[in-house]
Structure 1
Amino acid sequence: MPTAIAVTSADMALPPQDERTVPAVVLRDLDKRPLEHALAELQGLVEQHGHVIVVCSQAVPAAVTQRLHTLRSLMESDRIALFRPELPPLGIAVLARQLRQLASCDLSPGVLASAGRLLTHYIHAGAVLGSVARLDRVPVSLKAHAKSWVPGSQFAVLAHPEPRLVRIGPGATLAGPEFATWMLVAKGQLQSEWTGTLSKAWSVHGLREVPLAAESAHWWGTSRVVEFCSYLADLSVLYQLVTSVRQNSCHWCGIDVIGDRCVFCSATPPGHEPPAPRALEQRTPA
């Protein structure tokens, strides 16, 4: 069985990108179900799949995050990876689907989990907002705050990879990827067609629409939002990116990883010990 890719709500499990995309495991209502029920579910996943990678947003309730850490501690298992990158919810859903695509390939669990950090660099995620008054994920100037109170104002915000904010108007744009991508759009309670303009400026292959995740309003500070995300969709490109990076073995648990930190046991490579200080030379007083 391929490594399980889990998300914390059904609206974070995007439809399959292709016929090879493995289904997402949805860990529903972790903060509401009895602890023993959630523990039994996670244990069953580990027994069935060998390893589980949980991808979740930083906008999930704190109780969900606490429950995930509690479950991992109770199981005393290094086969569960918790991955919470600094991406908006739509970007998280896209990343989880990319891992689901790669889960069908011949990648070891450690390399697959490590791929999450690598692939975040190729995701451009942002939103069109009707107000930035409660936006705290991206730096907002006092001038932008003041303009957000003007009726009809809309703002384009890029949260990743480099935070940017512009007021939408003639000529307004955001710096986009320098490689070919697809774009997803998720519409909330805001009427805006600006994402169509942006998709043309970014020369995306195509634009598709998905439902807005429940976590998005919390992440962006408003339900008046149209979230967008451009990403690499082709499995062969994703696979080539991941396999072109040098692999290492974790010095602690022995699993193969890419990068400098094991996503399962959280160990980092041991640092080189600093050289011992040289003894002070004794000098004979003149």
Structure 2
Amino acid sequence: MPTAIAVTSADLVLPPPDRQTPPAAVLQPPGREHTVEHTLAELQTLLDLHGYVIVLYPASLPDRTVHRLYSARALLESDRIALLRLDLPPLGLATLALQLRQLALCDFSPGVLASAARLLSHYIYAGALLGSVAKLDRVPVSLTSHAKSWVPGSQFAVLATPAPQLVKVSGGNAAAQGPSLLQGPGFGTQLLIARGQLNSDWVTARLAPAWKVQGVAEAPLPAESGRWWATGKLVEFAAAIPDITLLYQLVSSVKREDCHWCGLDLIGDRCGFCTAPLLPREQRGRTHSAAEGRELAAGDTRVLAPGRTRRAIGP
């Protein structure tokens, strides 16, 4: 079974583009009372089925929920659970989760797949059209924009990632002319939108043509979006690479390293599972042999390559 990709609410699960893409696991189904014991049981089941679990959660997730996730992982004493906090808005996070679900079927190791989340997040253009930025604190907002936010009918186009941008839109219809458009991706993307309480076609009529997207699709607005953007008057959007072949090439092009702590493969500068940073190059040679020679616990041997094994703690 491929590595499990998990999210913290069902509205962060997007429909797959094909029948091969595995479903996402939802650790917090709606309408149930959740405890550490319940989360622990869910993670244990996923470990038994998949071996490794990658949990994606938004930065706006309440602290009590985050604490529950980390407590459950600590009780399991497992180094096969990656808890990845992402600054992507909810719709962008849902897009990333879908990309990782597609890549889970490829020949990437769990370590590479987890560390690929940070890489791919830089290629997701996630933002929203907002009716107010008065309470927005996740993107820099000038005093002028704060003041304009109180003017009736004001709307703001905001990009959260990969680089913060904010422009005022002078009205909400297709003919509205703002001082400029948000700077978009220089590569082919598909645009996903989720409509909140803001009645506007600016995203589809102005932004989509300007960004030359390959297609537009709609999804339900995630429940966490109102908290993330500090208003329910919004139209959230996310533009991302839709082609699994390009995503595979992107991840494959990055040099792989060994985590000096848990021994997993990784790309980038940090392990997604144990969060250990990549050591400076001059220190890597003498730490690899130590990581490879660690004792195996609980009788669990996982072969990474000929002549190499890694230590697994529980369960």
The interval holding the TM-score normalised by the smaller chain is over 0.9
Structure 1 position 25 matched with structure 2 position 25: yes
In 2: Cα distance, 1:204 partner to 1:71 partner: 41
What is the CA deviation profile of residues 27-61 of structure 1, one whole-angstrom value per residue up to 9, with x for unaligned ones?
Answer: 01599423222212211111110100001111111
DSSP-derived class of the 1:214 partner: coil
Give 2:12's aligned residue.
12
In 2: Cα distance, 1:141 partner to 1:71 partner: 41
Give 1:182's aligned residue.
190
Contact kept? 2:270, 2:277, Cα under 8 Å: yes
DSSP-derived class of the 2:236 partner: strand
Contact kept? 1:7, 1:55, Cα under 8 Å: yes
Give 1:157's aligned residue.
158
The 5-angstrom pairing of residues 181-260 of structure 1 reads 181-196=189-204, 197-260=206-269
In 2: Cα distance, 1:61 partner to 1:141 partner: 27
DSSP-derived class of the 2:75 partner: helix
In 2: Cα distance, 1:96 partner to 1:155 partner: 27
DSSP-derived class of the 1:84 partner: strand
Contact kept? 2:148, 2:154, Cα under 8 Å: yes
What is the CA deviation profile of residues 104-134 of structure 1, one whole-angstrom value per residue up to 9, with x for unaligned ones?
Answer: 1111101111110110111101000001111
Give 2:100's aligned residue.
99
In 1: Cα distance, 2:254 partner to 2:36 partner: 39
Identity of aligned residues (%): 60
The 5-angstrom pairing of residues 112-127 of structure 1 reads 112-127=113-128
Which amino acid is the alignment partner of residue 154 of structure 2? S
Contact kept? 1:132, 1:155, Cα under 8 Å: yes
In 2: Cα distance, 1:26 partner to 1:198 partner: 32
Give 1:72's aligned residue.
73
Number of residues of Structure 1 aligned to a counterpart in Structure 2? 273
Shift of 1:86: 1.1
Contact kept? 1:17, 1:101, Cα under 8 Å: no
Contact kept? 2:36, 2:69, Cα under 8 Å: no
Q: What's the C-alpha RMSD, in Å, of the aligned pairs? A: 1.5
Give 2:56's aligned residue.
55
In 2: Cα distance, 1:60 partner to 1:32 partner: 16
Contact kept? 2:37, 2:72, Cα under 8 Å: no
| Structure 2 gap ranges (5+) | 171-176, 284-315
Contact kept? 2:6, 2:27, Cα under 8 Å: yes
In 1: Cα distance, 2:13 partner to 2:183 partner: 28
Give 1:267's aligned residue.
276
The 5-angstrom pairing of residues 28-47 of structure 1 reads 28=28, 32-47=33-48
Shift of 1:21: 1.5
In 2: Cα distance, 1:45 partner to 1:69 partner: 16
DSSP-derived class of the 1:228 partner: strand
Structure 1 position 134 matched with structure 2 position 135: yes
Contact kept? 2:91, 2:222, Cα under 8 Å: yes
Instruction: State the TM-score, normalized to the length of structure 1.
Output: 0.92
In 1: Cα distance, 2:133 partner to 2:277 partner: 38
What is the CA deviation profile of residues 123-172 of structure 1, one whole-angstrom value per residue up to 9, with x for unaligned ones?
Answer: 10100000111101111111111111111111100111111111103143
Contact kept? 1:129, 1:155, Cα under 8 Å: yes
In 1: Cα distance, 2:279 partner to 2:186 partner: 36
In 2: Cα distance, 1:200 partner to 1:8 partner: 33
Contact kept? 1:180, 1:232, Cα under 8 Å: yes
| Structure 1 gap ranges (5+) | 274-286
In 1: Cα distance, 2:120 partner to 2:19 partner: 21
Query: Which structure has the bigger radius of gyration?
Result: 1
Contact kept? 2:112, 2:265, Cα under 8 Å: yes
